[in-house]
Structure 1
Amino acid sequence: MKYTITTILLFLVVGTTWAQNKKWTLEECVTYAVENNLSVEQFELDLENAKIDKSDALGRLLPSLNSNLSVAGNTGLSFDPTTNQPVTTTILTANGGLTSSLTLFDGLRNINRLNRAKLNAIANDYRLENLKDDIRLNVAQAYLQILSNKEALEVSKAQYAVTQQDLERTKELVSSGVVPRGDLLELEATAANQEQQIVNNEGLVIISKINLAQLLQITDYENFDIADESFEIPPSDILNNGPKTIFAKALEFRNDIKFSESMMDLAEKDVELAKGAYYPTLSAFFNYNTRYSDQGGFDPATGNLVPAESFTNQLWINDGISYGAQMNIPIFNGWSTRNNVKRSEIGLEKAKVQLEQDKLALESTVNQAYVDVTTFRKSYEAAEKTLEARTLAYEYAKERFDVGLMNSFDFGQAQARVDDAAANVIRAKYEYIFRLKFLEFFFGIPITLD
């Protein structure tokens, strides 16, 4: 199929417009952040290194095999490698061989290195997943902050629109002499304050968008936006479980705890590796060598000079093998082995202490999250009641103001209290949603706003 330049340009324009108008959902933000975060890429590279270490450890269990080959020319006095006799002419020689060695026993250190490499790969995987968990929480919090700021902006615009209507009616009342001009000035001041609040809220929306875009490694801040959705508090029965139940559940799957446990396992392997140096090391070797020389020799029976054998014949005529075993027994090495064992044991104790500290920190976090959910739920319910009461008081004040029974200052105060109550409801709502999702996350429930 052939495409004209106009068609291609049309595709590019449509694609660019779509990218600029894309509205990101929470799920898309979380997925994109995990896949494109630079720290995640760094940890993934660390995981690849750990897998290479595992391959290195496996290679230590296998026999080594190396070959060597050398070709040399000598003029003057030298020794013929095939006869070991001195010669004083130009001689061309070649040597080659294969060498293989295998460690038969080294205090099980090679086995422990392999097991440690496997544990290290698992630990790096837990560390990577724990980082992804932190990113998911940070993205969810930043996403909810945008929703909160957007909703606050919409409320402030709606309140400003109502004030504008009151302002128009007050102008008519001032013109007819029903209310004094001071009331109009007071309302104008209230409208100006609300207009300033709109500007502030717009700034907060922009800043919160930039914060989320940075978490996603997106630099096109101007065109970045999230989906225009309104979320209510999702139903949840997480509070039916006590803090101890949630903590016990978190211990089963939390990657930070699994990482600490794997680090303790690594420390145990380090102790075993260090103790392996106390044992003798037994290894076996096998060598095959052959050589070539372009010099002939003398026939011992006739005393005549015999020309050199061909290259291929000399390879098997002059070859030889050697094999054997070698044992190294550690006797005294300046206490280095003993000190390494002690260091490893101290490292193991530190890993155990760190694991207990991480468990205590997790328990504290779960308890705090549980209290926060309970507290912010009550705070949200109280904020709703306050808004309801403030709204009724405002409506009553508005009726009195419209008939001239209330001055503009008192009416403005009633309106300001409604504005504050509405802002508190929005803030408490999204703080409660985040705390709720945060607590559910420790119970193994994925972060969604459904």
Structure 2
Amino acid sequence: MFRIPKKCLIVAALVVAGYLPAQAQSEGGSNRWSLQKSIDHALSNNLQLKLSALNTEVSRINASEARNELLPSLNANASQNFNFGRSIDPFENTFVNQTIRSNSFSLSSNVTLFSGLQLQNSIRQARYNQQASQADLQRAQDDMVLNLITAYMQILFNDELLTTSKLVLDNTREQLTRTQKLYKAGSVPETNVLEIEAQIASDELAVLNAQNNKDIAELNLMQLLDIQDKKNFEIEKPNLQDPDQSVINFDAESVYTTAQMTKPEIRAADLRIKSAMKGVDVARGAYYPRLTLNGSISSGYSSSRLIPVTTNTFMQEVGQVNVDGTNYPITAPVTIPVYGTYAFSKQFSDNISQAISLNLTIPIFNKMQARYAVSRSMLGLKEAELNSKIVRNELRKRIEQAYADAQASQKKFIAAKKQLAAFEKTYRNAEIRYANGIMNNTDFSVSKNNFTKAQSDIIQAKYDYIFKLKILDYYQDKPLTF
């Protein structure tokens, strides 16, 4: 059975999508799926891709959060208190012996003016992480489409084998008809008829196996697409032309040079190096002083506070005067205030206070936490650099393997074409000789089996070569069309 290598990457799949027709429904009403339609459906509905998209959304939120750290904070506070017995009035700061209800309200703001550029470097780090997450999502989409193209081409291959098997069966049945006529005419023995009938049974089994293989391949694709209606599933069949058999006029190194600039896994690895470098800068920022600006406005209310609302005036003895031995009182008018309720709105307005301050924090000793943070971030940078090298090495290996596979597939396809032409010529000649009773059934069966195998080999070689050529096109960022 034809197997498409798992190592091949996605957009090769998109290539095949280019030659598929865009028809959605056949006249019989069955749901026909082109490769492009399958890709669009999977990219929109696959649950694993949705999980990857959630990770990308989380990184976007993190980047937005880092940017907003530059903005001032603003907080409001309100409280209501009840004091019983002897207590201190919160606004008069005097002792009172009564039940007091008080309210306080405040609005405060804080903004960081300088923190060793930690905020700015955190923003850049979060942006790089977001871009790397987007590249990871693209890679996940590439892997999904790779699975789709593998399953899709497996169906096409098995369908070709099914068609070939049916043609072989029809041809064998025609031979049986001719041989029966020859047997009735006495030209061949009955053994020839029996042997062809046995061959028909063998060809029918081959058709059944080919049909089963096609059904299994379709089931694999339907499972990738998460399609429930398996009865009306049908794919569109392209008309694949024979691939170019000319010598591949480029080398693996040039393909690798191009791939480094286009592949999402390389982009993600490089972005994570930049992120790790900014992580080092963030950690080093803890060595620098921190300057913040703070401001606040507050007010409040206390039920114990009273306000003069009017005055009372009366005559009060202020002293005496002695006249001829007699004391006479001296009186004077005295005015005293009369207190009333201090209204909430008036008291709130009168109690407003504002404050502004600059706070400078200079790190002197922080239990070596800053040094440890820098050391950890440096290790993270080295890890990111090693991962980048690993990703590049893996990409180089895949390209070198793809290049070698393409060359081998080219040679195999050319050889398969020559083999098919030779075995077909031999089979046609054997068919004539067998029909005229010149060749025995054993030799004819050998010739027929060789021709049947050659037909299967050319189908496999054709699909394999087409796929591997498009893989190289993908790595070179070429337009993937037929």
**TM-score, normalization by structure 2:** 0.85
2:73 — aligned with what?
Answer: 64
> Aligned match of 1:328 in 361, 367, 370?
361
Per-residue Cα deviation, 1:262-310 (whole angstroms, up to 9, x for no partner): 01111111111111112222212112111111223487x9675622322
- State the alpha-carbon separation in 1 of the partners of residues 283 and 434 from structure 2: 86
Considering only aligned residues, what root-mean-square deviation do their CA atoms show, in Å? 2.4
| 2:238 aligned counterpart, secondary structure | coil
The answer as to 2:235 corresponding to 1:202 is no
Q: Give the conservation status (yes or no) of the 8 Å contact 2:102–2:300.
A: yes
Are 2:327 and 1:294 equivalent residues in the alignment?
no
Q: Which residue of 1 aligns with 2:433?
A: 400
For 1:191, the equivalent position in structure 2 comes to 200
Deviation at 1:257, TM superposition (A): 0.5
Higher strand share: 2
* Distance of 1:179 and 1:236 partners within structure 2: 45
User: What is the deviation of 1:430?
Assistant: 0.6
Corresponding residue number in structure 1 for 2:162: 153
Equivalent of residue 339 in structure 1, options 368, 372, 387: 372
Aligned twin of 1:73: 82
Partner SS, residue 65 of structure 1: strand
Q: What SS does structure 2 have at the residue aligned with 1:239? A: coil
Q: Percent identity?
A: 33
Q: TM-score, normalised by structure 1?
A: 0.90
Task: Please tell me whether Structure 1 or Structure 2 has the larger radius of gyration of its CA atoms.
Answer: 2
Give matches, 1:297-308, under 5 Å.
Answer: 297=306, 306-308=339-341
| Whole-angstrom CA distance in 2 between matches of 1:80 and 1:48 | 53
Tell me which of 136, 139, 145 is aligned to 1:127. Answer: 136
What is aligned with 1:53?
A: 62
Query: What residue is the counterpart of 1:412 in the other structure?
Result: 445
- Structure 1 spans left out of the alignment, 5+ residues: 1-14
What SS class does the counterpart of residue 349 from structure 1 fall into? helix
Match of 2:266 in 1: 257
Matches within 5 A, 1:150-189: 150-189=159-198
Q: Which runs of 5+ in 2 are unaligned?
A: 1-23, 309-333
Given the superposition, is the C-alpha separation of residues 289 and 344 from structure 1 closer, same or farther in structure 2, using an over 3 Å criterion? same
CA distance in 1, matches of 2:392, 2:242: 30
Matches within 5 A, 1:304-323: 306-323=339-356
Pairwise mapping of residues 84-95 of structure 1 onto structure 2 (< 5 A)? 84-95=93-104
Equivalent pair of 1:298/1:304 in contact (CA under 8 Å): no
Residues 1-46 of structure 1: CA deviation (Å, up to 9, x unaligned): xxxxxxxxxxxxxx99989612222222222222222222122221
Q: Is 1:296–1:307's contact at 8 Å kept on the other side of the alignment?
A: no
Change (3 A) 1:66 1:237: farther
- In the superposition, relative to structure 1, how do residues 285 and 45 fare at CA in structure 2: closer, same or farther (>3 Å)? same
Higher-helix-fraction structure:
1
Q: Identify which of 339, 345, 351 aligns with 2:384.
A: 351
The structural deviation recorded for 1:437 is 1.3
User: Which amino acid in structure 2 is aligned with residue 367 of structure 1?
Assistant: E
Contact 1:296 1:305 survives alignment (8 Å): no
Residue in 2 that maps onto 1:6: none
Partner of 1:367: 400
Q: Which residue of 2 aligns with 1:388?
A: 421
Query: Which deviates more from structure 2 when the two are superposed, residues 201-210 or residues 303-312?
Result: 303-312
- Structure 1 window deviating more from structure 2 (240-249 vs 266-275): it is 240-249
Question: Are residues 274 and 233 of structure 1, via their aligned partners in 2, closer, same or farther at CA, if it must alter by over 3 Å?
Answer: farther
Partner of 1:104, secondary structure, is strand
Q: Which residue of 2 aligns with 1:105?
A: 114
C-alpha distance in 1 between matches for 2:148 and 2:28: 20
Residues in 2 aligned to 1:102 and 1:302: alpha-carbon distance in whole angstroms: 53
Aligned partner of 2:236 in structure 1 is: 227
Q: CA, structure 1 residues 298+372, in 2 after alignment: closer, same or farther (shift >3 Å)?
A: closer
User: What is the distance in 2 between the residues matched to 1:73 and 1:145?
Assistant: 80
> What CA distance in whole angstroms lies between the structure 2 residues aligned with 1:48 and 1:72?
44
